[in-house]
Chain A
Amino acid sequence: MIDYLLERARGKVDGADALWRREEQTGVAFESGRLKAAGVSEEAGLNLRVLSNGRMGVAGTTAAKPDSAELIARARASAELGEKVELSFPTADAKSLPPIPTFFDRTANASLDDLIRMGRLLVERLSRPDCQVNVAVEREVQDTAVGNSAGARGEYRATGIAVTADITRIAGDDVLMVFDQYVGADMPTDADLELLVRSVETRLTAALKIVTPPDGALPVVFTPAGLAAVVLPLEQALSGKTVLQGSSPLAGKVGRQMFDQRLSIVDDPLMPGRPVSRPVDDECVASRCNALVEQGRVGQFIYDLETAARAKTESTGNGRRGIFGKPHIGYTNIVFRMADGGRHGATLSTTDLGGGLIADIQDGLIVDDLIGVGQGNVISGAFSHPVGLAYRVEHGEITGRVKDAAVAGNAYDLLKKIGGFGNDGRWLGARWSPSMLLEGVSVARR
């Protein structure tokens, strides 16, 4: 498909690249403990970008039999209005791409019954009186092909599976929601599912008692899930696009010490077993690991082809594209690297809340979930959110769950001095991190 399309485009445009993607998903859903639905979805699409008279244009289609002449014409029409850009397409040979496993037979071959069995097991393990358990299991098989007029090609098959469990407990007017998820390219092992169950149970049990929230500037342990509000500003600021536009607080600060020197973060598309890992990005650039933060210093901003061309640098292999838009910058696996070399697999002993960071806290919080993350002025680093799920810590012990409290701070200030990293590093979607203790977080209560 890609070869044919690029061949047809030759002579009509100065250059072109394209992505073809086909996705098949199979899923089962348990609602309030009962299997309620099973579904499949099949989708295929083609995205074409052209350079015509130095200008860039894009077009996409989900038609079953794409009409390449129509697609090329639409991309050229888009280019007529487009901006000039000196884009050079990579020429890497598919054979030189890094070999990483993205396809797992066990995932691809799992039957509907396998998925149902896994879901049922979780429902049984998590059921308890007065709690509603929802479980969803979704498996995906994806075929991707990319290519460009400079002759580069890339092709891979990938699998992914997500097992999601959430519990809602309503007692009187108190609503408690606890959620966790296994996400991988390979099927979860029994130990992975056990970890999921223990994680939900631990957080549920510690939440049964409600206590008064503290207030003031306090030490707060952000769990891997709770860290989202703190990590999001960094993700935005380290995007080459924000840097190019002049709105990144980290622009011009490469190599500068901006964070605690124990903080190192990479974006790594080459991690085995992760569903977003891939040998090549959506613009035919070979995947590589990029150091975003190195021992507290600003490392590499991430780029796609266009942003790199405008910033006079090279793509970091972070091009991502959908079927309809133009390629944009996207992260892959964001991984916190620990000073001790890193332990990238959580073990059963690490389901303790707080990751061993609460022993010295006299009065503070563990924050596991905040409400409304991403809705404020994220790029500034400022955040302010009501707690979704948080626990009070007094004299080194968890005393119960707090409600009706709000935490606020600025990621750039808080990350200058990190109180400690937990021993509970784990994957959460496409991010691996441990818990982190941050000092002086504002906690307000009613």
Chain B
Amino acid sequence: MKDRLAAAIKQSRADYTEIRVERTWSSAVAFRGRRLETATVSEDQGGFVRVLNKGCGWGIASFTSLEELPRMVARAKELSRAVRLDEPISLADAAPQTADAVLELDGDVRGIALSEKKKLLDRYNSAMLAVSDKIVDTQSSYRDEVSEVWYVNSEGTSLYQLRPEVVLSGTAIGRQDGTIEKGLESIGLRKGWNSVQNFEPQFRAVAERAVALLDAPRVRGAAYPVILDNELAGVFIHEAFGHLSEADFVYENPQAREMMTLGRRFGKPALNVGDNGAATGLRGTLPYDDEGTPTQDTPLIKEGILVGRLHSRETAAKLGERPTGNARAISFRHAPIVRMTNTYIAPGKKGVGFNDLIGDIKLGVYACGAFGGQTMLENFSFTAAYGHMIRDGKVAELVKDVVLAGNLFQTLDRIDTIAGDFMWNQMGGGCGKGGQFPLPVTEGAPHVRIEEALIGGDV
């Protein structure tokens, strides 16, 4: 395949050409309530070509028929020529890479019978249904894939990557008269069959929570001191800050660049944030990004100060910085754009625990788990799966519909205590940006305390 792509590159008379070809083997099983929805095996494949010519913009072609490769290379070149630019696009220098990067499969999912995968999911789904007759519905899914990605560009980079992934998720719907609540468990790993074997307790727990939430009051809307658990703190840093650190937001925008000037203070000295695509075995982990740049651990906030951002080769060149290996595409159907990988809040002092965070809070909210988050850059939301009121330094009653309204400049700066109990999330789902969803990412964080944050709800 590499030779075939190299030959096509040679044929291209554009100044810069890159070709990415993917072949993805996947299987999927889904249950809805007691009923199996599907059990399927699929193979998807296709290619992506991107070219640049002097004084011109990007020409892009994606396709499912690989026989069309030479025609698509020519088409991309024509498209590039149609895009006239006064200020040329340049790409930051990158040393050519040649490698076969095979991630550990940890039990190759391609060798496991579909019936075994059905059995596994049936077990987890049944664990949720068995919790109570108030669990009226479930949605469970298992999906695995092994993706082969070939990447070749006209600067001499030639890569083959084997990327496994396995995602499990379960939603339990509890109902009591007119009240309906849900619990959600999701596990996403860049691994294989061996790593998804023993999750009954987690699935049972979310069904139990859905039932418990039926009797829980809605949280009252107000500004509170808030403690985020590891999972929600991870989603928080992804939404609150991660997206702002993606350089495609600032590179063409002088005002945005000013707002995000390196050296600016964003938090208290306890706050350290980074993005690490090279961490082992996590869902956002990749040896190379989709421009062939090796991934790395990129510090973003050091002791409260903005020190870095995430780059593609184009954004790095424009800002005179170095590429960070964050140009990613969800599939051959898309161009790579600047994305996060595994984003984290670094742990605070060893020995600082949950009790140190909660002790002096008279009235507050302990927000736990994550249904999701979304950002509009300055303002963002993150939705907890559930919460507890904090009363007189103690975890008190369960509350529901806990949605936090964040503001980049206020919320980050109000993080005053960070525990030492760091954990990676390993969630399923994914990140959406520019029409590309779901991109596998991971977040990690310890428990963090925000002095004051706005929670929506009845007032």
How many residues belonging to A are interface residues under a CB distance threshold of 8 Å? 83
7 closest residue pairs by CB, A with B: A406-B456, A444-B221, A39-B60, A386-B405, A375-B372, A372-B381, A175-B378
In the assembled complex, 18 residue pairs joining A and B whose CB atoms fall closer than 8 Å, in A order, are: A28-B83, A34-B87, A37-B57, A43-B64, A64-B68, A83-B36, A172-B259, A173-B409, A245-B32, A372-B383, A373-B374, A376-B371, A384-B456, A385-B381, A385-B403, A386-B379, A386-B456, A444-B455
Q: Across the interface, name the chain A residue whose C-beta is closest to B249.
A: A168
Q: Kindly list chain A residues whose C-beta atoms are within 8 Å of the C-beta of B458.
A: 217, 408, 442
Are A81 and B115 in touch, CB under 8 angstroms?
yes
A290 within 8 A of B: no
Q: Across the interface, name the chain B residue whose C-beta is closest to A372.
A: B381
Separation of A386 and B408 alpha carbons in the complex (Å): 13
CB contact list, B267-311 vs A, under 8 A: none
A337 within 8 A of B: no
Separation of A241 and B29 alpha carbons in the complex (Å): 18
A45 within 8 A of B: yes
CB contact list, A63-77 vs B, under 8 A: 63-64, 74, 77
Picked from B58, B61, B79, B335, the residue with its CB within 8 Å of the CB of A112 is: B79
Picked from A74, A81, A83, A385, the residue with its CB within 8 Å of the CB of B456 is: A385
Q: Across the interface, name the chain B residue whose C-beta is closest to A245.
A: B137
Q: Kindly list chain A residues whose C-beta atoms are within 8 Å of the C-beta of B114.
A: 77-78, 81
Separation of A61 and B41 alpha carbons in the complex (Å): 10
Nearest-Cβ distance from residue A18 to partner chain B, whole angstroms: 15
B401 within 8 A of A: yes
B197 within 8 A of A: no
B262 within 8 A of A: no
Q: Mark A362-398, 1 if CB is under 8 A from B, else 0.
A: 0000000101111111011010111110000000000
Q: Kindly list chain A residues whose C-beta atoms are within 8 Å of the C-beta of B455.
A: 406, 444
B457 within 8 A of A: yes
Q: Kindly list chain A residues whose C-beta atoms are within 8 Å of the C-beta of B221.
A: 384, 406, 408, 442, 444
Q: Kindly list chain A residues whose C-beta atoms are within 8 Å of the C-beta of B409.
A: 173
Q: Mark B21-50, 1 if CB is under 8 A from A, else 0.
A: 000000011001101111111111110000
Are A38 and B83 in touch, CB under 8 angstroms?
yes
B interface, over-half SS: strand
Separation of A34 and B314 alpha carbons in the complex (Å): 15
Q: Kindly list chain B residues whose C-beta atoms are within 8 Å of the C-beta of A118.
A: none
Separation of A31 and B434 alpha carbons in the complex (Å): 12
B236 within 8 A of A: no
Separation of A247 and B72 alpha carbons in the complex (Å): 48
Q: Kindly list chain B residues whose C-beta atoms are within 8 Å of the C-beta of A94.
A: none
Picked from B40, B43, B335, the residue with its CB within 8 Å of the CB of A58 is: B40
Separation of A177 and B80 alpha carbons in the complex (Å): 29
Nearest-Cβ distance from residue A137 to partner chain B, whole angstroms: 13
Given A62-B64, A405-B405: A35 and B85 within 8 A (CB)?
Answer: yes
Q: Mark B342-373, 1 if CB is under 8 A from A, else 0.
A: 00000000000000000000000000000111
Nearest-Cβ distance from residue B131 to partner chain A, whole angstroms: 15
Are B372 and A38 in touch, CB under 8 angstroms?
no
Q: Mark A172-190, 1 if CB is under 8 A from B, else 0.
A: 1111010000000000000
Picked from B40, B181, B379, the residue with its CB within 8 Å of the CB of A78 is: B40
Are A40 and B456 in touch, CB under 8 angstroms?
no
Q: Across the interface, name the chain A residue whose C-beta is closest to B256.
A: A170
Are B83 and A35 in touch, CB under 8 angstroms?
yes
Are A388 and B335 in touch, CB under 8 angstroms?
no
B contacts, CB < 8 Å to A: 28-29, 32-33, 35-46, 57-68, 72, 75-76, 79-80, 82-85, 87, 89, 114-115, 118, 136-137, 173, 175, 178-182, 218, 221-223, 252-253, 255-256, 258-259, 333, 335, 371-383, 400-401, 403-410, 452, 454-459
CB contact list, A142-168 vs B, under 8 A: 168
Given A377-B181, A385-B381: A32 and B401 within 8 A (CB)?
Answer: no
Q: Across the interface, name the chain B residue whose C-beta is closest to A36.
A: B57
Q: Across the interface, name the chain B residue whose C-beta is closest to A64.
A: B65
Given A39-B62, A112-B82, A444-B456: A247 and B180 within 8 A (CB)?
Answer: yes
Are A175 and B333 in touch, CB under 8 angstroms?
no
Are B373 and A372 in touch, CB under 8 angstroms?
yes
Interface centre among A77, A168, A380 (most CB of B within 10 A): A380
A60 within 8 A of B: yes
Q: Kindly list chain A residues whose C-beta atoms are within 8 Å of the C-beta of B259.
A: 170, 172-173, 175
5 additional A-B pairs beyond A63-B64, A382-B401, beta carbons within 8 Å, are A38-B57, A43-B333, A326-B38, A369-B376, A408-B403
A82 within 8 A of B: yes
Are B83 and A371 in touch, CB under 8 angstroms?
no
A407 within 8 A of B: yes
Q: Kindly list chain A residues whose C-beta atoms are within 8 Å of the C-beta of B37.
A: 326
Separation of A406 and B409 alpha carbons in the complex (Å): 17
Q: Kindly list chain A residues whose C-beta atoms are within 8 Å of the C-beta of B79.
A: 38-40, 112
Are B41 and A59 in touch, CB under 8 angstroms?
yes
Separation of A373 and B454 alpha carbons in the complex (Å): 17
Given A372-B372, A444-B456: A40 and B61 within 8 A (CB)?
Answer: yes
Are B380 and A386 in touch, CB under 8 angstroms?
yes
A contacts, CB < 8 Å to B: 28, 31-32, 34-45, 57-64, 74, 77-78, 81-83, 112-113, 116, 130, 132, 168-175, 177, 215-217, 241-242, 245-247, 249, 323-326, 369, 371-377, 379-380, 382, 384-388, 403-408, 442-446
Q: Kindly list chain B residues whose C-beta atoms are within 8 Å of the C-beta of A38.
A: 57-60, 79-80, 82-83
Q: Across the interface, name the chain A residue whose C-beta is closest to B374.
A: A372
Are B376 and A377 in touch, CB under 8 angstroms?
no
Q: Kindly list chain A residues whose C-beta atoms are within 8 Å of the C-beta of B400.
A: 377
Interface centre among A32, A132, A247 (most CB of B within 10 A): A247
Are B372 and A442 in touch, CB under 8 angstroms?
no
Q: Across the interface, name the chain B residue whose C-beta is closest to A443.
A: B459
Are A42 and B59 in touch, CB under 8 angstroms?
no
Given A41-B333, A43-B64, A386-B380: A77 and B41 within 8 A (CB)?
Answer: yes
Q: Kindly list chain A residues whose C-beta atoms are within 8 Å of the C-beta of B255.
A: 130, 132, 169-171
Nearest-Cβ distance from residue B15 to partner chain A, whole angstroms: 15
Are A132 and B253 in touch, CB under 8 angstroms?
yes
Separation of A384 and B376 alpha carbons in the complex (Å): 16
Are A386 and B175 in touch, CB under 8 angstroms?
no
Nearest-Cβ distance from residue A423 to partner chain B, whole angstroms: 28
Q: Kindly list chain A residues whose C-beta atoms are within 8 Å of the C-beta of B218.
A: 382, 408
Interface centre among B68, B180, B373 (most CB of A within 10 A): B180
Are A36 and B85 in touch, CB under 8 angstroms?
yes
Q: Across the interface, name the chain A residue whose C-beta is closest to B407.
A: A404
Q: Across the interface, name the chain A residue whose C-beta is closest to B370.
A: A375
Are B43 and A386 in touch, CB under 8 angstroms?
no
Separation of A446 and B256 alpha carbons in the complex (Å): 25
Are B456 and A41 in touch, CB under 8 angstroms?
no
Given A62-B45, A132-B252, A246-B136: A380 and B379 within 8 A (CB)?
Answer: no
Picked from B66, B83, B136, B401, the residue with its CB within 8 Å of the CB of A247 is: B136
Are B58 and A404 in touch, CB under 8 angstroms?
no
Picked from A132, A325, A404, the residue with its CB within 8 Å of the CB of B379 is: A404
Are B42 and A41 in touch, CB under 8 angstroms?
no
Q: Across the interface, name the chain B residue whose C-beta is closest to A32.
A: B252
Interface centre among A130, A169, A324, A386 (most CB of B within 10 A): A386
Q: Kindly list chain A residues whose C-beta atoms are within 8 Å of the C-beta of B401.
A: 376-377, 382, 384, 408
Are B83 and A36 in touch, CB under 8 angstroms?
yes
